[in-house]
Amino acid sequence: MKNLSPLQSERLKYQPKLPTSLSNGVNSLEMTEGSATQSVADQAQIQKLFANTYGKPVVTFNSGASRSVSQTNVGVILSGGQAPGGHNVIAGLYDALKQSNSSNKLYGFLGGPSGIIDGKYVEFDDEFINAYRNTGGFDIIGSGRTKLETEEQFQKSWAVCKKLNISAVVIIGGDDSNTNAAMLAEWFVKHNANIQVIGCPKTIDGDLKNDQIEISFGFDTATKTYGELIGNIERDANSAKKYWHFVKIMGRSASHVALEAALQTQPNITLISEEVEQNKMSLNSIIEYMTEIIVKRANMGKNFGIVVVPEGLIEFIPEMKTMIANLNDIMKDLEQDPAFTNTTSTREKFDVVENRLDDKNAEVYESLPALIKSQLLMDRDPHGNVQVSKIETEKLLIAMIKSRLEELKSQGEYIGKFSTQAHFFGYEGRCAFPSNFDADYCYSLGYNAYALISFGLTGYLSSVKNLTSPASEWVAGGVPLTMMMNMERRNGEMKPVIKKALVELNGPVFKKLQDNREDWALNDRYLFPGAIQYFGPSSVCDITTQTLALEKSKELVNA
């Protein structure tokens, strides 16, 4: 192998830890079934859509007597955005498959779900897999966001699987990707294809979790990476004492990443989207809240600070959410309107948009800085929604706060200086070398995925629980994908999707932030997490996120 850094050379040697139940291989397991399950909501509709895979039990694995497992070829797909540890899911799947039967084959579909549709694949062998163990990224086979939802796509996928004699497919992805997995599993059963489908829970956003899935993989590494970066900025701010740093951080639909990063670093201001929505905070009220802290710090001689903002904040502000929904609805028509498409004048584009929006929404849109207006008109995502990662919310807040401070200065109520730096931490955390936790967890998820396959299950998500205990005490099993589903509107239609887990405002994680907010706002309690540690004492190298630790401690208290 060429072009290896010293760290990668050492990480390739790391042997991830497994739960004791899996350590003797999948041929020495017994499976325990729980009671029948139902979806989290919309049970009648979900059951009708998934008539062949609905209501299955949660399963748990324990060490058992030796059993025979038939020869199996498996295909694996990386789907959606990258998350640290994806390579180890594949490595764990490969090792379990080969340990069970050396004749088993693992195929990797290239470029995400489109690979299984178009028949683009590679066959893994030891040399191939060994070059990617414990590394970040999804470059082993690449990823993509193609949705698996049409009859033609399912037929093509089946044909490719038959060609390769594949009897099981593992889809590694987030909520949308595992919704695809559920639909593919249902279609295969309905058509007697004899092809199983298993999912693995991935997303750095941390919003794919429930009682059975304690955390999605990648969240641990990504938040520790962001924590290091924010800690570095805090130290710089505390050294120079002249800038307010506004940090926008990954997390569109939920604020788990921002909340975890805040607990790791203790910045002066942290906005949580779910709180903004629940309290119906307007954009102006957010500006007033932040401005008040900035003025108080200035009166203390502190013209510096750190602000952490979740990526999806703008969609949780009530008037912005309503306006964006209205904007999303009219964009298809605007894209066909010559008055909009043929003009090169930005001002004229804005005028067309404002004339099409409902009156109140037009007022909100008109009040925004030109930069934000333009960004709201950028290309939509596959669901027809604005791509919030391209909306520079941090710059919107800076501009509005600056304007408010100028008003206060003219009234003699503010004498400080407001110099700013804007940051967006997103891609920096998606492909980092996985932490020891993610390296172990992902390897276990992949190994466990093959265990689910070996028992003939389909429509399940690989589940490894008890994650705040040593890896040997982790509990392996599976949860039916339909159990996590509800109906949501997508592109104007009600569709089945896995329900996202939002920040619980009455939960222990948010409460820790809430209890310390006033103190952190005015007193500089900055923490400096430093880089992820891979070698050294377990107390440094194997620590979990504060989110998982606090949630697990709550479970233990309530047990």
Cα separation, 65 vs 371, in Å, equals 65
Q: Which residues contact 546 (CB under 8 A, 6 or more apart)?
A: 260, 263, 264, 509, 512
Q: Which residues contact 308 (CB under 8 A, 6 or more apart)?
A: 230, 247, 249, 258, 261, 262, 265, 267, 269, 270, 271
Residue written as token pair 């072009």:
3
Residue written as token pair 């709201």:
376
- 14: tokens are 């790391």
Which entry of 95, 175, 205, 207 is annotated as an active-site residue?
205
Cα separation, 381 vs 384, in Å, equals 5
Question: Helix 256-265 to helix 508-522 angle, to the nearest 10 degrees?
Answer: 50
Mapped onto helix, strand or coil, the DSSP state of residue 186 is helix
| Beta-sheet strands, E only, within 81-222 | 105-109, 121-123, 168-173, 196-201
| Residue 175 is a catalytic residue | no
**DSSP of 41-98, one letter per residue?**
S-HHHHHHHTTTTTTPPPEEEEE---------EEEEEEBSS--TTHHHHHHHHHHHHH
Cα separation, 401 vs 417, in Å, equals 12
Provide the total of helices (H) and of strands (E) in the chain, helices listed first.
Answer: 21, 15
| Catalytically annotated residues | 205
